[in-house]
Amino acid sequence: MAKSKRKKVLGRGLSALLNDTDNDIESVVNKNTENIIGNIIDLPLENINNNPFQPRTHFNEETLKELSVSIKELGVIQPITVRKIKGNQYELVSGERRLRASKLAGLDRIPSYVRLANDQESLEMALVENIQRQDLDPIEIGLSYQRLIDEIKLTQDQLSERVGKKRSTIANYMRLLKLDPIIQTGIRDQFITMGHGRALVNIEDSKLQLDLYKQIVKKGLSVRAIETLVKSFRNTKTNYTNSYLSPFIKQAAEELEIIFDTSVSITSNNQGKGVLKITFESQEKLQHIINKIKGD
C-alpha cells in the first residue's frame, strides 16, 4: 500500500474521519475484506470486542435502559463503528452506548460501519467522538483532551485545530483535572457546576478547595459568590483554614452568605471583636444587599 499524507480531518467531526480513505493504516489480510470495509453490515454482537481505548468511564444506567427500550421499538437508527481485526472478529471504535443498550434489548445483531484502523486511529476516533457528545460531563471531556495530548502527542494548538475548539476552552477543561478527586466527582455527579470548579482550581491548597466545595454543596452558593470568595482569599492571602473564628461567628458568616448570595468574611479576635466584610461586584448587587438588610 502506497503511503499518503494523512488528512487533518478531526476538526470536521467523526463523519469526516469515517469517510477518510487516505489514511496510511495496517490492513488485515482476509479474502472477504474488500467486500466488508467501508460498508454497513449486521454483525453478531458476540463477534464485537470491547474497545480497549474507550475513554468514557461512566455510563448512566437509567439512560441506557431508556435507549434499550427505544431500540426494541425502533431498532438501532445510527450504526456503530467497528474495525476489522482478524477472521470474523471486530473491535468497537465508537458507539458503546448503542452496543450496551442493544445487549440490554436482547438483540443478537447490530448494524455496524466497518473500517480498518490501527491502534492510534482507534483511540483518536473514540476520543473525538467522546468529546463531541452532548451528555458528557466536564471531567470526561478534560480527560479526553489530556489523552489526545499525552497519547496522540498533540500540542494544545494542534488539538484546538483538530477538534474545532478554542485553545482557551480546551485549557479550561483540562485545568479541572487539577482539582481534588472528591471535587472532580462532585462535578461529574452534578453537585457543583464546571463554573464552580473553574473558580476552585485557582485555590492551590487542597484542604481549602475541599472546605469551599463543602460550603457550595451545603449552602448552594452561586458561581459568582464562590468566584468573589476565591478572589478575596487570593487578594488578601488569607489562610482560611488557620484563621481563628468561633463556631458562632462561622455560623453567622455562613448564614449571611446565603442571605446576600455573596461572599462574607469575618476577622475576629479571642474576645469576639472583629470586622465583617460583605463583597459586591456591582451597584445592583449592593442595592440587593441593602434591600435584604432593610427587609424589602
Quick one: cell of 95? 458507539
- Give 14-32 as a 3 state SS string: HHHHHHCCCCCCCCCCCCC
Q: Which residue of the set 26, 61, 91, 96 is catalytic? A: 96
Helix or strand or coil: residue 272? coil
DSSP state of 286: H
Q: What is the DSSP string of 51-105?
A: -TT-------HHHHHHHHHHHHHH--SS-EEEEEEETTEEEEEE-HHHHHHHHHT
Helix or strand or coil: residue 115? strand
Q: Is 284 a catalytic residue?
A: no
Residue 222 Rama label (left phi>0; alpha psi -120 to 50; beta): beta
Quick one: cell of 177? 483535572
Catalytic residues: 96
